[in-house]
Structure 1
Amino acid sequence: MECSWKTLLLLVCASLVVQYIAIRSFRESLPSSCQGNSHCLERQAKESWWRSACDESSVPVETVGTGAVPGRRHILLFAATRSGSSFTGQLLNQHPDIFYVYEPLFHVWQSFTNGSCCHRRAPERRELLGAYRDLLLNLFTCRLGFLESYIHPPPQDHVTAALFRSSSSLALCSPPVCPEAGGVDLSLSASQPEEAWCHKKCRALNLTVASEACRQRGHVAIKAVRVPRVADLRTLSEDPRLDLRIVHLVRDPRAVLASRMGVFSGFRAWRIWNATGRQPRYVDLAQIGHTCRDMEASADTGLLQRPGWLRGRYLLLRYEDLALRPEDKARDIYRFLGLDGVHPRVLRWIAHNTNVTNAPAEWHYKYSTARDSKAAAESWRLRLHFSIVQAVQSLCNSTLALLGYKQVQSVEELRNLSHSLVEPRTFQPAL
């Protein structure tokens, strides 16, 4: 009797498999209902976006069937906000064969936080990370149209003027994406920053043209400051369609806080503390604590754990080292990326933008990349109240130790710029 029951179960299962195969074969033999129908294709893409926004395991329709392009590098500049990532990104942006995109995840974050996703509820961490990864994958494979689901107001006929800081990308400020830029070397404009020129001339961005321009370049680089930890990038690192290289930029957390206090409105309580020397009861210590823990966890994964999915794909770079020796560090970056040396245009940009002491007023804004880089690296030491420095050191003690940043025990030690707080360290990529 037991044998007969097992036989019956096997027959039922076999029958179901045969029916499934027959139905699937019949459906695939039918012509696609979306062939030649742009509205249907658009609907498919939007449905894919909603799935990706609310389920990190989904694969967007637009990414299916894409393959890796031999020799193409997919470069992610991974950092926290106000870590010097705009400055560092220029070392990639200035290379004529790199298609550079500045912080596209801003649009995802804005869509979620403005309540336009997932039935107007606060997103869970996994949902936000799933959307981040889907967008990065599509951009790395030159599908800039995937951004249209996030940009507000929505693009019309694939044209938008609302892409966040599109003028920070030379690829988007050059023909054919911006025909008005023909014959102008934006990287060497002495009269005004390149972003000011591009913002005036290249406001209308055609995402279809930009996607094609991306495919014509040898490599794609993206700056992202909203992914918390490098472990969140494992799915992308293991994706066979990509040859992902992660440049993890870190900066002294005390300097990060000083920079945020200078530009972000949410740091008013910190500014009061800095001016009075007295800690307000309502000051939020959690954010800088989270920044330190994320920075430390990522460095621990890349430098100490060295998982197989990250080997050969991870480079840790301290902003302070880059600011003091920009040419040397640029060469380290390009060596890690496996590219043929630092392009002369990158070296010209470094020479033109790292020794700026008397720039015109229009050059001074919160995302400016023109500076006296050596002075900028430790200028926070003259601005932060010692009690704030002590608080950050307490919160970020292990992070400072792991990354080679010295702590100070007195105001005199803090203000003495002849004594560096950056220990000599060499961070080798995991092989």
Structure 2
Amino acid sequence: MECSWKTILLLVCASLGIQYTAIRSLTASLTSHCPATETGRHCHSQLRGFSHCSGMSHLRREAGNNDLTPDRKHILVFATTRSGSSFLGQLFNQHPAIFYLFEPLYHVQQVFANSSVRVRNVVDRRALLGAHRDLLSNLYNCNLNFLENYLKPAPRDHQTTAFFRRGASNALCEPPLCRLSPSLKNPLEHLCAKQCKALNLTLASQVCQTRSHMAIKTVRIPEVKDLRLLSEDPRLNLKIVHLVRDPRGILASRMGTFTDNFRAWKIWNATGRKPRSVDLSQIATTCNDLFNSVGTGFSKPAWLRGKYMLVRYEELAREPARKTAEIYHFIGLDVDSQVKKWILQNTRGTSGALRNYKYTTTRNSTATAESWRLNLSFQIVQTVQHLCNGTLFQLGYQLVHSVEELRNISNSLVESKMFAPFL
């Protein structure tokens, strides 16, 4: 264990930073007057119509969410990479009462990924669970300053230009955090990233407190059982929307998106010859996580009662309006008119360069759901079916036994199966 001392040192430093931030946040919450710092005055001056303490207090009372109360909804979109989670996340992002964050746990992962190779090799994906849970708890409490422990380069005066995929959150692209051109309604992510300057995390925390609910999307927690501590926190009233997708579709999407990591798979798909470098664990691990997580949900443990809903991406893509209504009913909110409008505008396809943007949520959703059947070789499909047979059966995805069955997309491979929320 020659590198263990480095790991311990790194974790100790991170722990001290987290404790310092927690103490600082607690002290700030006990202070009844406006911040006297330049940062505080600057933040309040940017909140149009609420440039003093009484204004902010009134705004928080109007929102009714300054405390973690049962009325406040804390939503977690739980998924794996390339399963349609960005699309589902946008269904919450469009609601004007929801403060939405896209993959904030990315920053925790980057702290370790950017450490020395010897330390990085020791840290596996589960070693970060404590940090992930601490960050989620603070974010649900609208303490975005907690992210300063993980942002690189470190923020100056609580301002950062390193916030991951800021443009994927409407709240971070709207006044007072950013003033885009009035002609830009529902701006695309790349426009927000281009025109919005440094994000003030203190001001963002205050804006978060004006929204009555909060939703966070993540693909960086392995299994549902890893969320038990958050689920059991009575202050959170957490709602977990578990999004799943056919593993064959997940693999096809990853091959098209993460070219470097899936180069061997792409060669196999194009040539029909399996390279020795193909890493089968890239999909086997995903299927194992899916199987275990869904198994946990189906076992209906007490700590998930009223807090867990399983959603198949294919059903969401096929009938987005109906499925969105079901999801919102489970959350306990009404589907806002802006959400309905977004669904109409973003599930009928588009034209031009936007189709080539790999993270876009604008597409013909019905056609996208099973389009992998036209792009993935039958040999690779057979391999995934062998590795993921239990997961496919568990989630109601049919196997194919010939090229003809694979390519005949008029016959869906998604079985008609009801997955009721665990209430």
Mapping 1:53-92, distance limit 5 Å: 60-61=22-23, 68-92=68-92
Question: Does 2:387 correspond to 1:387?
Answer: no
Cα distance change on mapping 1:278 and 1:89 into 2, 3 Å: same
**Following TM superposition, by how much is the alpha carbon of 1:161 offset from its aligned partner in structure 2, in angstroms?**
1.1
Cα distance change on mapping 1:297 and 1:62 into 2, 3 Å: farther
Which structure has the bigger radius of gyration? 1
Residue deviations 1:30-74 (CA, integer Å, cap 9, x gap): xxxxxxxxxxxxxxxx9997228999xx99546769852341111
**Following TM superposition, by how much is the alpha carbon of 1:362 offset from its aligned partner in structure 2, in angstroms?**
3.9
Look up the match of 1:354.
347
Mapping 1:211-290, distance limit 5 Å: 211-264=205-258, 265-290=260-285
Cα distance change on mapping 1:60 and 1:54 into 2, 3 Å: closer
Task: Provide the TM-score with structure 2 as the length reference.
Answer: 0.84
Look up the match of 1:141.
141
**CA distance in structure 2 between the aligned counterparts of 1:424 and 1:346, rounded to whole angstroms:** 26
**CA distance in structure 2 between the aligned counterparts of 1:121 and 1:372, rounded to whole angstroms:** 41
SS at match of 2:335: coil
Look up the match of 2:58.
none
Gaps of 5+ in 2: 1-9, 30-66
Alignment counterpart, residue 338 of structure 2, candidates 345, 354, 378: 345
Matched-pair contact (CA < 8 Å) for 1:60–1:134:
no
Question: Does 2:288 correspond to 1:324?
Answer: no
SS at match of 1:181: coil
Q: CA RMSD in A?
A: 2.5
**Following TM superposition, by how much is the alpha carbon of 1:203 offset from its aligned partner in structure 2, in angstroms?**
3.2
Question: Does 2:404 correspond to 1:405?
Answer: no
SS at match of 1:77: strand
Mapping 1:25-104, distance limit 5 Å: 50-51=14-15, 60-61=22-23, 68-104=68-104
Matched-pair contact (CA < 8 Å) for 2:249–2:370:
yes
SS at match of 2:148: helix
**CA distance in structure 1 between the aligned counterparts of 2:75 and 2:117, rounded to whole angstroms:** 28
**Following TM superposition, by how much is the alpha carbon of 1:229 offset from its aligned partner in structure 2, in angstroms?**
0.2
**CA distance in structure 2 between the aligned counterparts of 1:381 and 1:362, rounded to whole angstroms:** 23
Q: Which residue identity lines up with residue 424 of structure 1 in the other structure?
A: S
Look up the match of 1:186.
185
SS at match of 2:122: coil
Alignment counterpart, residue 388 of structure 2, candidates 375, 396, 408: 396
Matched-pair contact (CA < 8 Å) for 2:70–2:235:
no
Cα distance change on mapping 1:369 and 1:112 into 2, 3 Å: same
Look up the match of 2:113.
113
Residue deviations 1:111-151 (CA, integer Å, cap 9, x gap): 11211799777325553000111111111110001111111
**CA distance in structure 1 between the aligned counterparts of 2:263 and 2:284, rounded to whole angstroms:** 17
**Following TM superposition, by how much is the alpha carbon of 1:199 offset from its aligned partner in structure 2, in angstroms?**
1.6
Cα distance change on mapping 1:345 and 1:308 into 2, 3 Å: same
Cα distance change on mapping 1:62 and 1:360 into 2, 3 Å: farther
**Following TM superposition, by how much is the alpha carbon of 1:233 offset from its aligned partner in structure 2, in angstroms?**
0.2
**Following TM superposition, by how much is the alpha carbon of 1:281 offset from its aligned partner in structure 2, in angstroms?**
1.2
Alignment counterpart, residue 199 of structure 1, candidates 156, 173, 193: 193
Aligned residues: 375
Q: Which residue identity lines up with residue 378 of structure 2 in the other structure?
A: F
Q: % of aligned pairs identical?
A: 56
Residue deviations 1:316-359 (CA, integer Å, cap 9, x gap): 000000000000011011000011x21010010010010014x2
**CA distance in structure 2 between the aligned counterparts of 1:329 and 1:100, rounded to whole angstroms:** 19
Residue deviations 1:139-198 (CA, integer Å, cap 9, x gap): 1110001111111111111111111100000000111111x13745633x6xxxx21221
Q: Which residue identity lines up with residue 259 of structure 1 in the other structure?
A: S
Cα distance change on mapping 1:225 and 1:348 into 2, 3 Å: same
**CA distance in structure 2 between the aligned counterparts of 1:354 and 1:366, rounded to whole angstroms:** 16
SS at match of 2:383: helix
Q: Which residue identity lines up with residue 74 of structure 1 in the other structure?
A: H
Alignment counterpart, residue 364 of structure 1, candidates 356, 367, 371: 356
**CA distance in structure 2 between the aligned counterparts of 1:323 and 1:363, rounded to whole angstroms:** 17
Task: Provide the TM-score with structure 1 as the length reference.
Answer: 0.82
Gaps of 5+ in 1: 1-45
Mapping 1:148-163, distance limit 5 Å: 148-163=148-163
Q: Which residue identity lines up with residue 266 of structure 1 in the other structure?
A: N
**Following TM superposition, by how much is the alpha carbon of 1:240 offset from its aligned partner in structure 2, in angstroms?**
2.2
Question: Does 2:422 correspond to 1:430?
Answer: yes
Look up the match of 1:420.
412
SS at match of 1:409: coil
Residue deviations 1:5-32 (CA, integer Å, cap 9, x gap): xxxxxxxxxxxxxxxxxxxxxxxxxxxx
**CA distance in structure 1 between the aligned counterparts of 2:231 and 2:392, rounded to whole angstroms:** 27
Q: Which residue identity lines up with residue 346 of structure 1 in the other structure?
A: V
